[in-house]
Structure 1
Amino acid sequence: MSDQADNVVPHAKVRSLREAMRKVRLAEAERTDVIIELQETERARLDILREELEGVSKELPEDDEQFMLQVVPGNPPRMWVDVTSHVVIARDRRTYRFVKDTRLGRTVLLETDSAHAMADCITEYVAERMIDRERALESDWLLKRLRADADKALIEAESRRNAKPQRGGFGIGTAIGVFLIGLAIGVAGLVGYAWFFNTLG
């Protein structure tokens, strides 16, 4: 009789899989509601920042597609400035964090709880990137011009050399052509060097 009493499972210890699944679903729903509420809060703060930058968005050239200034939903939501930089809300749900991905890793450019201060920082960043782009375009044009001048000098030197027999050695035209080619390569190197370190900055 005592053996049978030991084998009986008390009613309080009976487990219900259905009840456990219901509890898990309720807990997940509550977590989802909290996550959605937090994302909506972050999205609202990013929308405030985007509104601060509406004037900047309107002034961007139509043919310049490097800047977005758009809030993209996600976990967490982000406001993308360009393909390498964006703003997120920090864990305190109040602080804006402006980060940029570089060759050396992710860099935080600014953290602030002020949408106005963050908008000023982003405006300066956009202005710097636009000036960098203008310099790059200008250097491309200058390099093409120098190459064209060097090619022209070489052609002229070649035509003069063919026009009259040479006694040996290099003519003045060839020397000028070589000099111009060296100058073009040097300018291109300096521009590339400056652009590279400007990008890292």
Structure 2
Amino acid sequence: MRQTSMAESTEKVTPLTGTRRLADAVRAAKIAAAQRSDVVVDIREADRARLEILAEEMKPIADELDADDLFDFVLSGGATSRYWVDGTAHVTMARDRRTYRFVRETRLGRVTLAESTEPRKIADYVTTYVAERIVERDKAFAVNDGIGEKASDPARTRTQPERGVEPMAASENTTASQDGPDRGGSRFIVGLVWFLLGTVVGAGIPLLLSYLYLL
């Protein structure tokens, strides 16, 4: 009879299959304790527990960019817990202790980029922000290295010939223009002037002699 009762009790026991991890259960307990208490320590623990949930949502992105110096993906403690994305942007909890607030520090002050009570939505906002920062950095690198500048501006390429090739051609054209029709035309005009002067002088000499003879 004893063996039968033990077998029946064994069948009634439902084994835990890991559907809820211990870490999640601990975070939930901290949040529940903070909601029932006004103790500052409990509130800080609850804020950190909520940010740890966000960190779990961001873990795939953080692992993918582990070697990138531009981003941090670090959860800091202290008086106010923060989940740092980079040197200027982080996620913190709002005053209601339920809302995630994604902010960025700028020269003009702190700017709120997104707010939500759902950690997954904030994780999506943070992921979009990370992608935009990567694109901005790539554009900055492209401007600094100058690659693709000639391909993007063919007209500028044509107006900036390679050194030692087209400038020589230009000098040859200049020389040719100096020896060309313009210089020949100037020679013709000078010769015509001298011809006219000779004609005037030649016609004037007989007139001058006849005038002197009559005197």
TM-score, with length taken from structure 1: 0.56
Displacement of 1:70: 1.1
Residue number in structure 2 paired with 1:125: 129
Displacement of 1:54: 0.7
Residue number in structure 1 paired with 2:64: 59
- From 78, 81, 88, give the equivalent of 2:85: 81
* Cα distance change of structure 1 residues 145 and 82 upon mapping to structure 2, 3 Å threshold: same
Displacement of 1:143: 5.5
Displacement of 1:34: 2.3
Give the letter aligned to residue 43 of structure 1. R
- Structure 2 residue 162 is the aligned partner of structure 1 residue 153: yes
Residue number in structure 1 paired with 2:29: none
Q: Classify the secondary structure of the residue corresponding to 2:133.
A: helix
CA distance in 1 between partners of 2:135 and 2:145 (Å)? 15
Q: Classify the secondary structure of the residue corresponding to 1:67.
A: coil
Q: Classify the secondary structure of the residue corresponding to 1:37.
A: helix
Displacement of 1:145: 6.5
Which structure would you say has the larger Rg?
2
Q: Classify the secondary structure of the residue corresponding to 1:109.
A: strand
* Cα distance change of structure 1 residues 70 and 158 upon mapping to structure 2, 3 Å threshold: same
- Structure 2 residue 99 is the aligned partner of structure 1 residue 95: yes
CA distance in 2 between partners of 1:112 and 1:55 (Å)? 20
* Cα distance change of structure 1 residues 80 and 139 upon mapping to structure 2, 3 Å threshold: same
Displacement of 1:93: 0.7
Q: Aligned residues, how many?
A: 136
1:127-150: per-residue Cα shift (whole Å, max 9, x none)?
11111111222222226966xxx9
- Structure 2 residue 76 is the aligned partner of structure 1 residue 72: yes
CA distance in 2 between partners of 1:166 and 1:143 (Å)? 37
The unaligned stretches of length 5 or more in structure 1 are: 1-32, 169-201
CA distance in 1 between partners of 2:49 and 2:95 (Å)? 15
TM-score, with length taken from structure 2: 0.53
Q: Classify the secondary structure of the residue corresponding to 2:83.
A: strand
Q: Classify the secondary structure of the residue corresponding to 1:53.
A: helix
- From 54, 62, 67, give the equivalent of 1:49: 54
- From 142, 146, 167, give the equivalent of 1:138: 142
CA distance in 1 between partners of 2:65 and 2:119 (Å)? 20
- From 34, 38, 44, give the equivalent of 2:43: 38
CA distance in 2 between partners of 1:111 and 1:81 (Å)? 15
Give the letter aligned to residue 40 of structure 2. I
* Cα distance change of structure 1 residues 167 and 52 upon mapping to structure 2, 3 Å threshold: same
Give the letter aligned to residue 60 of structure 1. L
* Cα distance change of structure 1 residues 167 and 49 upon mapping to structure 2, 3 Å threshold: same
Q: Classify the secondary structure of the residue corresponding to 2:92.
A: strand
CA distance in 1 between partners of 2:105 and 2:168 (Å)? 52
1:71-125: per-residue Cα shift (whole Å, max 9, x none)?
0012211100011100110111111000011233211001111001000110111
